[in-house]
Structure 1
C-alpha cells in the first residue's frame, strides 16, 4: 500500500487508528514515525502520504503541514481525493508531510507555543504563556531546513523546487513569520487564519529588513468572515460580549489582509499573493472550506 513511489521502502509503520472492535483502520498511503531534532533533542512525530501513482519526471510536489496531529489527515485525504483528476481539479498529486508531536491526538499547546514563536506575545490579549515556554522558533526553523527537508528529499521522489508550507492559526502566523525571515526555504506558503496578533510588529519589521524581490514565491492567505465578529449561530448560542471584544481586538481579518499586502509589496514583482475571506466561515471552519482553493493556487501553472 502507498509507498510504492518512495525511494526507501524500509520506512516506519503505517499510520493507524483502532475502532471499538479492535480492528485497525489504515489511512491509505500514509505512515508515521518519530524523529528527534538534532537542534534541540526534542521529539517530533512525522506523518507522510505518498500518492499511489508514478511521480512526474521532476518529482512530486511536497506539502508540509504543521500541527499534523490535528490537520494532516484532512490535508492528505483532500489531496488524495482531488488529485485523481488533476486536469479537472487543478490540483496535482503531491507528497504530504506532517510535523506533529508524540503522545497527542490534537494540538500540543506547549510545544506549538515553543516552536512557532520568537518570544512572548506582544499583544495584551495574548495567551498567558511563561517566557521560557516561547521563543524556540529559530531552532525549529533549523530543524525543518537542515534535518527534515533533506530527509524527505532523500526518501521520496519529490520536486525540490515545489515545496509548500501550510499552517492554521498560530501555525499560520508561523508560516508568515518564516516567510518574512527565510523566504527561500519554501517556494509556496499557505496561511489559514494567521494569529498575527501574537507579534505583528516584529514580523513587519523583519519584512522591512528583507528588501525587495529576493525570491519568487506564492502565498495564499484566508480568514473567516466571522473571525472579527460573532457569527449568527454564535450569537444565538449566547456567546458573551467578552468573546466579541476579543475578536474585535485581535483584528484577524484586517491583520491578515494588511500583512498580505505588505508581503506583496516587499517581494513584488516576484511574489504572487492571494487573500480571501470565507464568507460563512469562522476560525474553526476556514481550513476545510478553502483548502482546495489554496492547493489550486499554489499549484497554478504546474498541471500538465
Structure 2
C-alpha cells in the first residue's frame, strides 16, 4: 500500500514551555513568495478531523484567487497526539467551566480555556513565526461545535488575540450567559466575526426522521436551539461590538451539525483572507 501524503505539510507535537501535555500541531506551508507583510495565518481547532481537507480547500482556491477570493495562507491545525482521549481533552481545552447540561454528564473535566489560549499565544504563535514569515495583523481562529464556543469566547474576551473569528455550529448552549457577558468587554479594535450554522441543526433532517433515536435527537436539538442561538448571538454581537465590527451570520441550507464542516471551509477561508 502506498500512503497518500499532503505535500508541503507536516506535524509535530508541542508542549507549553513550562511543561504539561503536548498538542499535535499540523502545519501547511503556503506556496510562492510571501507578501511584504507576511502570510496570513488561519488557526484551525480539532485539526485531527479536518486539517487535510481544510488545506486542500485553501490550495484549490488559491489556484484562482480572483475567482474564489481565497489566497495562499499558513494553515495551523491544533489537535491531539494519537492514543489520547481527544473528546476529554477538547472538553477541557475549549471550556471555561461546566456547561448547561452538566459538563457532558460530569465525566469530563472542564475549565482549561485560559491555559489553552495561553499555549496558543505564548508557545504556538512564536513557533510558527520562527518557521515562516507571517502577518500578525491577519490571523484567524476557526472552530466548530464546542471549539466554536471557544472561538466566540476568545473573540469577546481576548479580541486582541486574532483579527478574524469563524465559529461554525458554535455550541452557544454550553454557556450562553458567559458569551453574552463577554460582549461588554473593552477591546482595542473591533473584530471580524463570521457565524455559520446548518439548516438541520435545530430540527430533524428528512433523512433522520425515521431513525430509531429520532425522538431523543429531536428533543436534544430543540433544547440546544443551535440555529436560534447562533442567529440571536450574531445580531447581539453586531449591536454590542459597534459599527466598526464586521459580523456575518449565515444559515447553510441542507447541512446539519456533522455535514456543515467541509461545506463551510471555503466560505470561512474567503472571509478570513479577504483584504
**TM-score scaled by structure 1?**
0.86
Tell me the residue number matched to 1:278: 252
Q: Residue 28 of structure 1 aligns to a residue in which SS? A: coil
Q: Deviations over 1:125-174 (max 9, x none)?
A: 7521347x110111111111111111111211111110010010000111
Alignment of 1:18-29 (within 5 A): 21=1, 23-29=2-8
Q: Deviations over 1:27-86 (max 9, x none)?
A: 111100010123551111100001221111221111000011012112111101111111
Q: Is the 8 A contact 1:39 1:139 kept in 2?
A: no
- C-alpha distance 233-34 of structure 1, shift in aligned 2 (>3 A): same
- C-alpha distance 252-39 of structure 1, shift in aligned 2 (>3 A): farther
Say if 2:168 is the partner of 1:168. Answer: no
Say if 2:220 is the partner of 1:242. Answer: no
- C-alpha distance 39-66 of structure 1, shift in aligned 2 (>3 A): farther
Q: Residue 174 of structure 1 aligns to a residue in which SS? A: helix
**TM-score scaled by structure 2?**
0.95
Q: Distance in 2 between matches of 1:135 and 1:91?
A: 35
Q: Distance in 1 between matches of 2:202 and 2:65?
A: 35
- C-alpha distance 25-115 of structure 1, shift in aligned 2 (>3 A): same
- C-alpha distance 125-46 of structure 1, shift in aligned 2 (>3 A): same
Alignment of 1:287-302 (within 5 A): 287-300=261-274, 302=275
Tell me the residue number matched to 1:55: 34
Alignment of 1:103-182 (within 5 A): 103=82, 108-121=86-99, 123-124=100-101, 127-130=104-107, 133-182=109-158
Q: Which runs of 5+ in 1 are unaligned?
A: 1-20
Q: Distance in 2 between matches of 1:26 and 1:229?
A: 38
Q: Residue 233 of structure 1 aligns to a residue in which SS? A: coil
Q: Which of 44, 64, 76 is matched with 1:85 structurally? A: 64
Q: Distance in 1 between matches of 2:226 and 2:103?
A: 13
Q: Distance in 1 between matches of 2:19 and 2:54?
A: 28
The offset of 1:240, in angstroms, is 2.4
Runs of 4+ aligned structure 1 residues displaced above 4 Å come to none
